């Protein structure tokens, strides 16, 4: 998409990632956008107004009480004469101001005065991103209609710091801007008005306070499905086990550890129009978790007694009340993929099974590509090898098409 004739107001707040905002300005200009820049006081410790203004092609605005600036353009005009307000980087402090409706500098005043869409690209230390206050503020901003891109996982500027908190790359932010502006003039989306529930990742079943039973699921496929459903206009609830992935922007994410916690979150998330169970849930847990770390003894390894975990897919598929119109399970197999998937379809009582071969040599577990079969009561479809994002988009398109059909045709 070209951004020709689009006006972008870029707010740069204080953080080491501010240097990336200069590249973002360049990428937006290359796409034909007009860019105005506001810099907070803290941002000016990392990049200069002269640098930002030189790349943008006009002065960078910094002071709410600059008499010359206010006479020439004013913060109200800055707030209104734009198609989109972008904050990159968006610090924890500025997000808190936005959530609380503060207006004590030029950036926060413009944000309170604008009636235009807002996109934030958060950037901060992982501990700050995971703090309850930041989560509350983000939830409020999402409820207010603010769009987000990132943050990403990776190394931080500080030594020996890593996790989720890196600002999205300028090319990612530019793509998000294009998508957001294109969506404002687009036709109604395929899943508009639908609630889609997705599970993703592994579960961890505690043996003692240190050890647990788990599997190799990365959550990449489930998270991709959640993003694709949201892009198709759905309201999405994502119930995620422990993964090293950022929460998809604009999606309600519920983090859980165990199978029992995942089932409780799923049931709390109903009703839904469709439920996609992509999580690789542990089949068993120890009958009783040890209160302390289990130590080596002369008696040898401890004997662990196991019990079955609840079957989340079957529980939801066989509900009498609040059963989603379309219930989709996943079958991660290492042998007899189609045969096992067909048996699972009948046993669980679900509508579809997405089956794949997760043998070590396939690289599917933790990888970025997938080769799946869609198994239904009508037959088996073999899909080509493709990225997990492409699998997600194809599955969501099929879901949207099916949900439009009469209820009698769903199963």
Residue 66 has what pLDDT? 66
- Which of 270, 85, 266, 246 is CA-nearest to residue 163? 246
Q: Which two tokens stand for residue 291?
A: 């209160």
Same fold, 7-183 and 195-409: yes
Q: How far apart are CA 384 and CA 373, in angstroms?
A: 9
* Cis upstream peptide for 56 (omega within 30°): no
Q: Is 238 exposed, middle or buried (0-12, 13-18, 19+ CB in 10 A)?
A: buried
Domain ranges in the chain are 7-183, 195-409
Q: How far apart are CA 138 and CA 343, in angstroms?
A: 43
- Which of 389, 385, 373 is CA-nearest to residue 333? 373
Residue-level length of the chain: 411
* Cis upstream peptide for 45 (omega within 30°): no
Q: Which CATH superfamily is domain 7-183 in?
A: Flavin prenyltransferase-like (3.40.50.1950)
CATH for the stretch 195-409: 3.40.50.10300
Catalytic one of 215, 309, 340, 356: 215
Q: Do 175 and 146 form a contact (C-beta atoms < 8 A)? A: no
Question: How remote is the C-alpha of 234 from its chain's centroid?
Answer: 14
Residue 73 has what pLDDT? 57
What is the SS3 string spanning the chain?
CCCCCCEEEEEECCCCCHHHHHHHHHHHHHCCCEEEEEECCCHHHCCCHHHHHHHHCCCCECCCCCHHHHHHCHHHHHHHCCCEEEEEEECHHHHHHHHHCCCCCHHHHHHHHCCCCEEEEECCCHHHHCCHHHHHHHHHHHHCCCEECCCEEEECCCCCCEEEEECCCHHHHHHHHHHHHHHCCCCCCCCCCCEEEEEECECCEECCCCCEECCCCCCHHHHHHHHHHHHCCCEEEEEECCCCCCCCCCCEEEECCCHHHHHHHHHHHCCCCEEEECCECCCEEECCCCCCCCCCCCCCCCCCCEEECCCHHHHHHCCCCCCCCEEEEEEEECCCHHHHHHHHHHHHCCCEEEEEECCHHHCCCCCCEECEEEEECCEEEECCCEEHHHHHHHHHHHHHHHHCCCHHHCC
Q: Do 245 and 220 form a contact (C-beta atoms < 8 A)? A: yes
pTM: 0.59
Residue 314 has what pLDDT? 96
Q: Annotated catalytic, 215? A: yes
Q: How would you write the pLDDT of the chain (411 residues) with one tens digit per residue?
A: 568 888 989 999 988 888 899 999 998 988 888 899 989 999 999 999 999 999 998 888 888 776 555 555 566 778 888 888 999 899 999 999 999 998 888 888 889 888 888 999 998 888 888 888 988 888 888 878 888 887 877 776 666 666 778 888 888 888 888 878 876 554 457 898 899 999 999 999 999 999 999 888 999 999 999 999 998 889 999 999 999 888 887 789 999 999 999 999 999 999 999 999 999 999 999 999 999 998 888 888 888 999 999 999 999 999 999 999 999 999 988 888 899 999 999 999 999 999 988 776 776 666 788 889 999 999 999 988 888 888 998 999 999 989 976 543 444
Residue 408 has what pLDDT? 38
Residue 305 has what pLDDT? 93
């Amino acid at each position: 998409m070209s951004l020709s004739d689009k006006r972008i107001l870029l707010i740069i707040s204080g953080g080491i990632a501010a240097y990336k905002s200069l590249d973002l300005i360049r990428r937006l200009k290359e796409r034909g956008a007009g860019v105005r820049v506001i810099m907070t006081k803290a941002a000016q410790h990392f990049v200069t107004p002269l640098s930002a203004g030189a790349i943008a092609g006009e002065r960078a605005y910094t002071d709410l009480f600059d008499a010359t600036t206010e006479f020439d353009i004013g913060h109200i005009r800055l707030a209104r004469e734009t198609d989109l307000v972008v904050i990159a980087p968006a610090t924890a402090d500025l997000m808190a101001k936005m959530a609380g409706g503060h207006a004590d500098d030029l950036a926060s005043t413009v944000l309170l005065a604008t009636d235009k869409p807002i996109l934030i690209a958060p950037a901060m230390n992982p501990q700050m991103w995971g703090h309850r206050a930041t989560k509350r503020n983000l939830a409020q901003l999402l409820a207010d209609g603010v769009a987000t891109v990132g943050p990403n996982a990776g190394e931080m500027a500080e030594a020996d710091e890593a996790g989720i908190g890196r600002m999205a790359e300028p090319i990612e932010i530019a793509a998000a801007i294009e998508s957001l502006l294109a969506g404002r003039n687009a036709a109604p989306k395929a899943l508009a008005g639908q609630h889609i529930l997705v599970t993703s990742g592994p579960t961890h079943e505690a043996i003692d306070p240190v050890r647990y039973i788990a599997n190799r699921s990365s959550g990449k496929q489930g998270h991709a499905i959640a993003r694709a459903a949201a892009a198709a206009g759905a309201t999405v609830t994502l119930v995620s086990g422990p993964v090293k992935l950022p929460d998809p922007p604009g999606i309600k994410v519920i983090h859980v550890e165990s199978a029992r916690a995942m089932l409780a979150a799923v049931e709390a998330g109903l009703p839904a129009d469709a439920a996609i169970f992509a999580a690789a849930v542990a089949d068993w847990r120890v009958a009783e978790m040890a209160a302390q770390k289990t130590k080596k003894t002369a008696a040898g390894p401890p004997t662990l007694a196991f019990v079955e975990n609840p079957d989340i897919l079957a529980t939801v598929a066989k509900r009498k009340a609040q059963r989603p119109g379309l219930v989709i399970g996943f079958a991660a197999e290492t042998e007899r993929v189609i045969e096992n998937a067909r048996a699972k379809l009948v046993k669980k009582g679900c509508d579809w099974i997405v089956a794949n071969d997760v043998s070590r040599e396939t690289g599917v577990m933790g990888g970025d590509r997938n080769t799946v079969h869609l198994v239904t009561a009508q037959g088996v479809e073999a899909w080509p090898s493709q990225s997990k994002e492409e699998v997600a988009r194809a599955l969501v398109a099929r879901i949207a098409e099916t949900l439009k059909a009469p209820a009698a045709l769903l199963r």
